[in-house]
Structure 1
Amino acid sequence: MAGVLDSVDSRTRLVGANRLELLMFKLHSNQLFAINVFKVQEVLRLPKLTNLPGHHPHVVGVAHLRGQAVSVINLAQAIGMPPLQPNENSNLIVTEYNSTVQAFLVGSVERIVNLNWEDIMPPPRTSGRQHYLTAITRLEEKIIEIIDVEKVLAEINPYTIALDASQLEEEIIQAAQGMEVLMVDDSPTAISQVRHTLEPLGIVLHTATNGKKGLEQMQAWAEAGEDVPNKLLMLITDAEMPEMDGYSLTTAVREDKRLADTYVVLHTSMSGNFNKAMVQKVGCDDFLSKFQPKLLAELVENRVRAKAGLPAPQ
């Protein structure tokens, strides 16, 4: 299985087609869970783990993979279920999120399925592990729960997301007041992170939970007579989202003459090399890996300067 997970070229064929590949697995029972194949490096049987002193309760140890020490997270425990007990049938799913590599302890690994984002729905708004889902879908009459890995990782290793306003130039703060950004992302964690980063700049943040809703919002502004590319400092979009992904959203924006000149930033936890290739393929203006508040602030500052006609810093 690992061989089909590590080729950038093999992944690009789905981009712009509003499709995704999911790796399905089980934890305790017959319930199927999944994560996007784009973020998976390999799948392997559980190797010997080294204890990590002072580790987070959800981290069961460290696996040494190809000369790299990789933290192993008990995924069942991290999403509010009883922890898995490692045994000879356990597996590791090794992933890359936000430019870091980590592994998830799971039970059986099932298979990879190719689906349309239109078949991926938001999770029901209930308690329990539903808080750790970004979406659900159905396959062969079975429900598949897609895990919000960003939320899991943010709870284990919280990000520093607030900017120090004293380090921002006064002219940038003044110029940014009231400027507007549209963020399209199905992860409440990601939206919260960006909101906290932009707050010191006084920027108005509009949000949508998938590409379809984001596109509808932009089209509604256009139909109301607003100049959307001028209204928005930028559109920040995730790549993976139910109903319409970020790549298809960008393509739709570029094809609508009223929206085509909008500055679009792809903001995602996927592999940097992969997304840089996708930025060129679908016509984004920039790429930003999650979650790097200083780089986001620099990008926003440069856009504010350009929009307000301020000179570049010396």
Structure 2
Amino acid sequence: MNESKQEILLETGTNELEVIVFEVGSYFFGINVMKVREIISAQTITPIPNSHKHIEGIIRLRDEVITVVNLTDVLGLEASEDKSEDKFIISELNQLKVAFRVHDVSRIHRVSWQDIQKPNELAQNVDTAATGLLKVEDEMILLLDFEKIIVDINPERSISVEKVKQLGVRERRNKKIAVAEDSATLRKLIGDTLREAGYDQIEFFEDGESLWNYLYDRKDDPNLVDDLHLIITDIEMPKMDGHHLTKRIKENEELKHFPVIIFSSLITETLFYKGKGIGLMHK
């Protein structure tokens, strides 16, 4: 990755992201560049017996063995006529590298989260959920929920409420938590996990902007310190992402004392430095 690219990625709290646009069939889709490690031409795949229907097999990339997921199958679209022209998007989610087969990769757009619209409930409930819709140069680009694709293939990659249950009955705590998360599926999983862990006073917000408006409207309210003890936020959200939300909180004199936890599949070295840049503490 060149120096100028690195500088863009390391900017903190700008509420912007870079989207790599790719094609499957005649449709345009997008993926956050922060999830992408590299893009390569399609390679010879070694099939895996009895694997999930969306898994083509594995490839060896330098010293790593990487699973290949066919997005054509995931999306229910027609395969390209010449697969040798396909591309592999090597992505890293929850510290798991996956190669997604696509037909072509076209360009990168730098956009604001404000420009990304949240899909309606119908679009969110289809098998391959969308995290956002973006219009660029008269084209509608669908931002796919890659985390959901991985969890559908391998449910073990999701949050496990059962693992929390193994710890035994937890004492109920009076701590009050605000959570910003745009995915309805993850809101439920986070809520179930926190309640199983003993935290049952949780308020959810569908994006960073709605949580910020709540906090800002109450920043002078002396009762806020009793009504809120912890903030948990996703990074990728329409309107306002988790980094920009955290930056605003930490720059506000009345709100900066509230602890913030970022919960995301995008846990990389780059995100570590971005978190430090907006005032998050890391261990």
Normalising by structure 2, report the TM-score: 0.89
2:48 to 27, 52, 58: 52
1:290 corresponds to: none
Provide the aligned C-alpha RMSD in A: 2.4
Deviates more, 1:203-212 or 1:113-122: 203-212
Larger mean CA deviation between 125-134 and 211-220 belongs to 125-134
Match of 2:216 in 1: 219
Q: Deviations over 1:287-310 (max 9, x none)?
A: 8xxxxxxxxxxxxxxxxxxxxxxx
2:23 paired with 1:26: yes
Distance 1:140 1:62 in 2: 36
Higher relative contact order (CA 8 A, sep 6+): 2
Taking the TM superposition and a 5 Å limit, the aligned residue runs for 1:126-205 are: 126-127=122-123, 129=126, 132-158=129-155, 159=158, 161-162=160-161, 163-165=163-165, 167-168=167-168, 173-174=170-171, 176=173, 178-200=174-196, 201-205=198-202
Partner of 1:284: helix, strand, or coil? coil
SS state of the match for residue 84, structure 1? coil
Matched, 1:117 2:113: yes
Q: 1-side partners of 2:184 and 2:250: how far apart?
A: 26
Matched residue of 2:256: which SS? coil
1:297 paired residue number: none
1:43 aligns with 2:39: yes
Q: Deviations over 1:199-228 (max 9, x none)?
A: 211422211121111111223444654224
Distance 1:19 1:166, change over 3 A: closer
1:84 correspondence with 2:79:
yes
Return the offset for 1:9: 4.5
Amino acid across the alignment from 1:226: N
Q: Which residue of 1 aligns with 2:204?
A: 207
User: Separation in 1 of the partners of 2:57 and 2:127?
Assistant: 26
1:105 aligned onto 2:101: yes
**8 A contact 2:17–2:111 mirrored in 1:** yes
| Moved beyond 6 Å, runs of 4+ | none
In structure 1, the gaps of 5 or more residues are 288-314
Identity of aligned residues (%): 25
CA contact (8 A) 1:266 1:286 kept: no
The answer to whether the Cα contact below 8 Å between 2:128 and 2:144 also exists between their aligned partners in 1 is no
Hey, what's the Cα distance between the residues in 2 that align with 1:10 and 1:36? 13
How many residue pairs match? The answer is 277
TM-score by length of 1: 0.80
- Identify if the C-alpha distance between structure 1 residues 66 and 182 changes in structure 2 by more than 3 Å, giving closer, same or farther: same
- Mapped partners of 1:149, 1:233: distance in 2: 31
Question: Alignment partner of 1:54: what SS?
Answer: coil
Q: Is the CA contact 2:276–2:282 (under 8 Å) kept in the aligned structure 1?
A: no
- Confirm or deny: 8 A CA contact 2:35 2:93 kept in the other structure: yes
Which AA in structure 1 matches 2:167?
A: Q
